[in-house]
């Protein structure tokens, strides 16, 4: 059974930083691509960032590029999202998701965590 | 990168078939066969229903099918059931090596 457990969410003031973690179990973490996807309250899904299994390939949405950094520690089976210069519009539930690989790469998300809520407010 | 365009809502009666459209551009849907569909029930985590336009992951009912024509992808649900009532999102790989989602479609089973 694959489990993805996010942590590190909370309430933060605009301009401040926060780091999310996603601990994986039931899966060979180092063999897999992972992504962060967010969902603002009552809104749709938005892809945030993705990282290859070896960490060499990293991708970001335009909305977070330059402010957010995705990273991973394969020895700890943990994915991270460092979020700097946070804005009100970053308020969302942040999901960690495994990238299921197909002909088009690993851009399909078959395992999801329950999410970590980030609220940016003064 | 703008989001993909989906109808805000669709509805159908039990047993009927419905189709949800997802329109993009030649830089995403039109340029690649990498469209996915997700189902999300209220308060729940999204579930992968279709990948690579028309492939179903293991365990997904064959009542769910996907297709693509030009810049528009479609999800069809046949033999509509009450438990199909949920929000549905499409997604596509893009030429910028990013992923874009549609705004979501609320399916109501009458």
Query: Each residue of B8-40: pLDDT tens digit?
Result: 999 999 999 999 999 999 999 999 999 999 999
**pLDDT digit string, tens, across residues A73-109:** 999 999 999 999 999 999 999 999 999 998 878 999 9
Indicate whether B2 pLDDT > 80: no
Question: What CA–CA distance (Å, rounded) separates A72 from A107?
Answer: 17
* Interval B65-91 mean pLDDT: 98
Percent of the residues in chain B that have a pLDDT greater than 70, as a whole number: 98
Question: Which pLDDT does position B55 carry in this prediction?
Answer: 96
DSSP class of A103:
T
Question: Which pLDDT does position A103 carry in this prediction?
Answer: 80
Question: What CA–CA distance (Å, rounded) separates B91 from B100?
Answer: 5
What six digits make up the tokens of B59? 């365990």
**pLDDT digit string, tens, across residues B82-92:** 999 999 999 99
Confidence of residue B101 (pLDDT cuts 50, 70, 90): very high
Decide if A108 and B103 are in contact by the 8 Å CB cutoff: no
User: Closest chain B residue to A35 measured between Cα atoms?
Assistant: B99
**pLDDT digit string, tens, across residues A44-56:** 999 999 999 999 9
What are the angstrom distances between the C-alpha of A20 and each of A7, A45, A80, B94? 6, 18, 6, 26
What six digits make up the tokens of A20? 């999310």
* A99 touching chain B per CB within 8 A: no
Q: Which of B33, B40, B48 sits opposite A108 (nearest CB)?
A: B48
Question: What CA–CA distance (Å, rounded) separates A23 from B90?
Answer: 27
Q: What average pLDDT is seen over chain B?
A: 96
**pLDDT digit string, tens, across residues B38-53:** 999 999 999 999 999 9
Decide if B34 and A107 are in contact by the 8 Å CB cutoff: yes
* Interval A13-40 mean pLDDT: 97
Question: Which pLDDT does position A104 carry in this prediction?
Answer: 74
Question: What CA–CA distance (Å, rounded) separates B63 from B18?
Answer: 11
- B residues 44-103 lying closer than 8 A (beta carbon) to A: 45-46, 48, 51-52, 55, 57, 87, 89, 91, 93, 97-103
- B residues 8-27 lying closer than 8 A (beta carbon) to A: none
* A50 touching chain B per CB within 8 A: yes
Question: Which pLDDT does position B1 carry in this prediction?
Answer: 58
First-to-last alpha carbon distance for chain A, in angstroms, is 40
């Amino acid at each position: 059974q694959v489990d993805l457990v996010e942590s590190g969410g909370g309430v933060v003031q605009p301009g401040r930083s926060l780091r999310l973690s996603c601990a994986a179990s039931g899966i060979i973490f180092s063999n897999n691509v992972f992504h962060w996807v967010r969902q603002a309250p009552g809104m749709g899904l938005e892809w945030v960032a993705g990282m290859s299994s070896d960490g060499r390939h990293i991708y970001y949405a335009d909305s977070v590029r330059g402010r957010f950094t995705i990273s991973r520690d394969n020895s700890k089976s943990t994915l991270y999202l460092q979020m700097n210069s946070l804005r009100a519009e970053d308020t969302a539930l942040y999901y960690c998701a495994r990238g299921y690989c197909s002909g088009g790469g690993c851009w399909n998300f078959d395992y999801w965590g329950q999410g970590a809520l980030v609220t940016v407010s003064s | 990168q703008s989001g993909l365009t989906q109808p805000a809502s669709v509805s159908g009666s039990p047993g009927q078939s419905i189709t949800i459209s997802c329109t993009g551009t030649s830089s995403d849907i039109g340029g690649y066969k990498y469209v996915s569909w997700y189902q999300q029930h209220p308060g729940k985590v999204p579930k992968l229903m279709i990948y690579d336009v028309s492939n179903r992951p293991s365990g997904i009912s064959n009542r769910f099918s996907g297709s693509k024509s030009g810049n528009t992808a479609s999800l069809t649900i046949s033999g509509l059931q009450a438990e199909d009532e949920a929000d549905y999102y499409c997604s596509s790989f893009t030429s910028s090596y990013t992923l874009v989602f549609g705004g979501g479609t609320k399916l109501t089973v009458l």
